[in-house]
Amino acid sequence: MTISDQAADSLLPHIVWYLQYLSEGDVVRVQQESPWVTFYAFKVCLIVLQLLRAGSRAAYYDELTNLGIIEETGMIDWMEGVFKLRSKWGVGGSVIRCIRGIWCI
């Protein structure tokens, strides 16, 4: 199933905001986050992976490339860094353990 460019365009501002929030995480702020933040972060990352796999033009906008997310491998590397900061929560550790498996799907 692919996502239309129009749907991707409508999602992009929300995705970019969330990814920027995750990128700017420092250890103190991250440790004060609730576990649900990590859960939703994982969902957002899966959406971005789907956009990248679908070849959606929205996935290549400057906002994403500024975060170092250009293709699937870059997204996986970015996810590992973000979720290592959030490994205190069980869901963060679970995400770290399955990130490479997701990429292989």
> What ranges do the domains of the chain cover?
5-104
pTM of the model: 0.78
Read off the pLDDT of residues 85-103 as tens digits, 9 standing for 90 and up: 887 767 778 888 877 677 6
- Would you state the pLDDT for residue 57? 65
- Would you state the pLDDT for residue 2? 61
Separation between Cα atoms, residue 47 and residue 67, nearest integer Å:
16
Task: Look at residue 55 and tell me whether its pLDDT is greater than 60.
Answer: yes
- Would you state the pLDDT for residue 103? 61
Mean pLDDT of the chain: 79
Task: Look at residue 52 and tell me whether its pLDDT is greater than 70.
Answer: yes
- Would you state the pLDDT for residue 98? 78
CA distances from 59 to 92, 94, 98 (A): 24, 25, 22
Residues with Cβ within 8 Å of 11's Cβ and at least 6 positions away in sequence, in order, are 47, 58
Residues with Cβ within 8 Å of 36's Cβ and at least 6 positions away in sequence, in order, are none
- Would you state the pLDDT for residue 104? 59
Read off the pLDDT of residues 16-41 as tens digits, 9 standing for 90 and up: 888 888 888 777 788 788 888 888 88
Counting residues of the chain whose pLDDT is more than 90, the rounded percentage is 0
